[in-house]
Amino acid sequence: MTISVFSNFWVNSEENFSRMKDSFYSFKDAAIDKWIINCRGAFKDEVAIFLKRELNDNVLIFNLDSSAGWFHDSRKLIKHIKSDLVFYWIEDHICIGGINYLNSIFEEIKTHQIDYVGYSWFGLGTYKQEFSDLKLHKAECLSFLNYRRKENDIRQKNSLRITNQYSVIISLCGIFSKSYFKKIVFSKRPYLRRWPKEVPFDFEKRHNDTFILPVKMGILHNELFASIDDDNAIKGSSLISRNLYSDRISREEMLHQRKDFETKKKYTFLKFVIHRMPLGTRLLHFAKRLSYHL
């Protein structure tokens, strides 16, 4: 079994960089064969220097930031993945379950040929409750099932009851079989973009994105990673909320810092140019803004 860490993230502030390093140190000693990292943002050079110093020849660093967006650039990087499993690294989630637990999860994913395990957003245990009415096969560290539309219907009803909202089917915080990871990255869906091209959020599959099913899904028995500052659906579940991470800066300020100001400027300039284009050209540009694939 071989494992690659893959990420295409944006690091644009000192705090963001500091959190990325804390996340890295929390799981760097796991049984990982290769790190494939595309870094954008003002701190991309610092990130590259840091990761090369820590990982030497075990890391490939890229700085792709094309106007075509996250999916386009990630598809170009996938050819470098030679492993069985892909761990998608989110740079503001910390491994709190321990390296041995993480390595055991890798082993069980391979043994049971599981395609996807969400490694974070445990929600103080509420995540497991979403699957309480489903027939699960149990291993030591995780349970698993063939997750189809009918299983999704039951799970989403549980999610509404427990958290008062639907749950995503696939999270970016995931461990994937290589084939399933490629299936998502190369998918033509959603046909219409829900997020800007520069961000990866359309990788995540919403409660009704059942086109991505079936999938052999694993559910962790215990918490492995946790978000530094995002409670998500469960108030009090982030590390800062639990007083497990230093509250150096508010979440609101972090969200402000994470914004891509260069993209904003670029779009402001484009709007100026587009208003002077012929109508047909403007309509084509508008259609391209709605889709990843035109």
pLDDT in tens, 184-221: 999 999 999 999 999 999 999 999 999 999 999 999 99
Q: Over pLDDT 90: what percentage of the chain?
A: 83
Every domain of the chain and the residues it spans:
3-259, 261-294
Residue 267 has pLDDT above 70, yes or no: no
The arithmetic mean of pLDDT across residues 258-276, rounded, is 48
The fold adopted by the segment(s) 3-259 is Spore Coat Polysaccharide Biosynthesis Protein SpsA; Chain A (3.90.550)
DSSP string, the chain: --EEEEEEEE--SHHHHHHHHHHHHHHTTSS--EEEEEEESTTHHHHHHHHHHHHGGGEEEE----TT-HHHHHHHHGGG--SSEEEE--TTEEE-S-HHHHHHHHHHHHHTT-SEEE-S--GGGHHHHTTTTS--EE-SSEEEEEE-HHHHHHHHHHHHHHHSS---SB-SSEEEEHHHHHHHHT---SSS-SS-TTS-GGGSB-TT-GGG--EEEEEESS--EEESS--TTSTT-STTTTT-S---S-HHHHHHHHS-HHHHHHHHHHHHHHTTS-HHHHHHHHHHHH-S--
Instruction: Return the pLDDT at 255.
Output: 67
Residue 153 has pLDDT above 70, yes or no: yes
Q: What rounded mean pLDDT belongs to the chain?
A: 90
Instruction: Return the pLDDT at 265.
Output: 42
